[in-house]
Structure 1
Amino acid sequence: MDDKAKKTLLEETSYVQTVAQDVVIAGGYLYPLKGIIYFVYHKNLRRPFLSRAGQTVTLGLSVTSAMFFLTYVPQVAIMAFTSGPLAPFSAALLVLSESSTITRFLSHSFVLEEALTDTFDGTLIACGQASLVAEGRQIKPRAGNDAIARLGKMVKRPLARMKPQALLRMLIYLPLNLIPVVGTALYAYTQGKKLGPMAHTRYFQLKGWSEKEKDAWVEKNRGAYTGLGMASFVLEMVPFASIVFSFTNTVGAALWAADLEKAHR
C-alpha cells in the first residue's frame, strides 16, 4: 500500500508540474493584463462599462451587506476553531469573497450580458476584425476611431448565463483560500479551467464553430485557456473591483481572439 500511495503521489505531482508548465508556456494568463492596459488607453471601450456601473455597484453593495448581516457571525463562530483569535478577520475576508462570487454570478447573468458582448465586439473592431464581428451583428459605417459607435443590432447573442452549478462550485471550493498560497492557487486552477473557455464563447460563435470543433480547439489549447481563466478569475475575486475587471478581462479575451485571427491569416 505504501508503494502504491507513493506511486500515486508521484503521478499526481508529475501531472501538476506538467499542467503548470503548460500554463506558463502558453501565455494565456498575460491577456487579462493586456486587457487592463488596452482598456485604460481606449476610452470608447469604457462606455458599456459606464452604462452598467451604477446597477452593478448597487447590486454588489446589497449582496455584501446582506451577507455580512446573515452570515458573518456564524462564520466567525465556525472559524474560531480553526483560526483562533484571527477568526473575525478571516471570516470577514471569507464573507467578502463569497459576496464577490455571488455578485459576479448575478451581474453576469442578469446585468452585464449585453455590455460585455459590446465590449468584446468593440475590441475586435478596434483590432481590425470588423469582418469577424459582422458574423454576429450589424456594423455601422466607420465613425472615426470609435469602435463602440460602429456596433449595430445584434444578430446572435452568445454570452450564456452562468449556471447555478457554477456558483455552487465556486462557493464549495472557496474555503481553499484559507490555505496560504497553495490553497489559493488550487482554487484559482479549479475555477480557471472552467472559466477560460467561457471567455471565448463569443469568439466561437462568430467563427461558427460546432460544439465538436470548439471542444477540440479548447483541448488543443488547454494550457492557454486555463491560464486565461485563472488570471481572469483572480482579478474578478478582488472585492468591489470585480466589475471593472469583468470588462478588462473581456477586452483581454478579445485581444487574444484578434491575435488568433491575425496569426491564422
Structure 2
Amino acid sequence: MAERVRDVARDEASKIQAMTTDAVKSQAYLYPIKGLLYMMNPNNRDLWRPLISKLAPIVTTSIGITTLMFLVAYVPQAAVMAFTSGPVAAVSAALLTLSESSTLVNLLSRTFFIEDALLDTFDGVLLKKECTNLVSEGRQIKTGGDSMARLGKLAKKPFAKFTPNAIIRYLLYLPLNFIPVVGTIIFVILQGKRAGPTAHQRYFQLKTWSKRQCEVHIEQNRGGYTSFGVTAFLLEMIPFINLFFVFTNTVGAALWAADLEKSASTAPKLREQAKRAE
C-alpha cells in the first residue's frame, strides 16, 4: 500500500511539474494583464462601449452584493477560521468572502445583463487583431467604422450562463479555504483550472470545433489555461470593480485567441519553407 501511495504521489508530482512548465512556457498568465493594458490604451476606446452601456447595473450589483456578503458572511467565517487558520484567519476569511461575492456577482451579471456585452467585446478585439474570417463564423461583419461598429447580427451565442455543475463544484471546493494558506492556494488553482477554458468558449465556437476537439486542445494546453484562469480569477476577486476585470479578462482571452490563430497560420508556412530548404 505504501508503495502504491508513493507511485501515485510521484505521478501527481510529475503532472504538476509538467503543467507548471507548460504554464511558464505559454505565458498565458500574462494575458489578463495584457487585456487590462490593451483596454486602457486610448487607441482602443471603442472597446469600452459594451462596458459603459452596462455600467449602471454593473456598479450597483457589484457594490450591493460585496457589501452584503461582508456584512452577513465575513464575521461568521472569520470566527470559524480562527480555529483552523489561527493568526491569518482574518485574511483567509476576507479572501473567501471576496471569492463568494465574485461568484454571486458573476452569476447574476452574466445571467441577466452582460452576456452580450462580453461577446461583443471578445469579437471586437478579434476584429482589431485582423481575425475577420474567424469572427465571420459567428456573426455578420459590417463595412466601415471602428471594430465595434462593424459587429453585425449574431449567428451564434456561445457564452454559457453559470451551470448547476459549476456552482456545485464551487461549493465542494469552498471548504478548502478553512485549511490555512495551502487550502486557499489550492482553491484558487482549482477555480483557475475551471475558469481558463471557459474564457475561450467563444473561440472554440468560432473555430467550429467539436466537443472532443475542444477537450484535446484544452488538455494539450492545460498549464496555460490554468495559469490564465488563476490570474483572471484573482483579478475578479478585487471588490467593487470585479466586473470591470471580467471585461478586461475577456479582452485578454481574445488577444490570446488571436495569437493562437497567428501561430496556427504561421506553422504550416514554416513547415513548407523547411521542406523547400531541404
TM-score (normalised: structure 1): 0.88
The Cα of 1:251 is off from its aligned counterpart by 0.7
The Cα of 1:222 is off from its aligned counterpart by 2.1
Residue deviations 1:15-44, cap 9 Å, x none? Answer: 322222222122221211211111111111
The Cα of 1:189 is off from its aligned counterpart by 2.0
Farther-moved stretch of structure 1 (213-222 vs 2-11) = 2-11
Structure 2 match to 1:149? 149
Structure 1 CA distance, aligned partners of 2:89 and 2:225? 36
| Aligned-partner SS, 1:138 | strand
Structure 1 match to 2:162? 162
Farther-moved stretch of structure 1 (58-67 vs 68-77) = 68-77
Are the equivalent residues in 1 in contact too, given 2:62–2:239 (CA < 8 A)? no
State the one-letter code of the partner of 2:222.
Answer: R
Residue deviations 1:205-253, cap 9 Å, x none? Answer: 1121221222222222222222222221222122222111111111111
Percent of matched pairs sharing the same residue: 51
State the one-letter code of the partner of 2:105.
Answer: T
The Cα of 1:118 is off from its aligned counterpart by 0.4
Structure 2 CA distance, aligned partners of 1:226 and 1:89? 24
Farther-moved stretch of structure 1 (198-207 vs 80-89) = 80-89
The Cα of 1:178 is off from its aligned counterpart by 5.5
Matches within 5 A, 1:1-265: 1-41=1-41, 42-83=44-85, 90-143=92-145, 146-177=146-177, 179=179, 182-265=182-265
The Cα of 1:81 is off from its aligned counterpart by 2.5
Structure 2 CA distance, aligned partners of 1:21 and 1:43? 36
The Cα of 1:116 is off from its aligned counterpart by 0.3
Farther-moved stretch of structure 1 (207-216 vs 79-88) = 79-88
Structure 1 CA distance, aligned partners of 2:138 and 2:3? 56
Farther-moved stretch of structure 1 (98-107 vs 116-125) = 98-107
Farther-moved stretch of structure 1 (40-49 vs 113-122) = 40-49
Q: In 2 relative to 1, CA 176–149 (structure 1 residues): closer, same or farther, beyond 3 Å?
A: same
The Cα of 1:55 is off from its aligned counterpart by 0.6
Farther-moved stretch of structure 1 (46-55 vs 116-125) = 46-55
Q: In 2 relative to 1, CA 252–86 (structure 1 residues): closer, same or farther, beyond 3 Å?
A: closer
Are the equivalent residues in 1 in contact too, given 2:176–2:187 (CA < 8 A)? yes
State the one-letter code of the partner of 1:187.
Answer: F
Structure 1 residues not aligned, in runs of 5+: none
Structure 1 CA distance, aligned partners of 2:89 and 2:237? 21
Structure 1 CA distance, aligned partners of 2:35 and 2:185? 22
State the one-letter code of the partner of 1:101.
Answer: T
State the one-letter code of the partner of 1:26.
Answer: S
The Cα of 1:135 is off from its aligned counterpart by 1.5
Structure 2 residues not aligned, in runs of 5+: 266-278
After superposition, the CA RMSD in angstroms is 2.3
State the one-letter code of the partner of 1:62.
Answer: G
The Cα of 1:69 is off from its aligned counterpart by 4.1
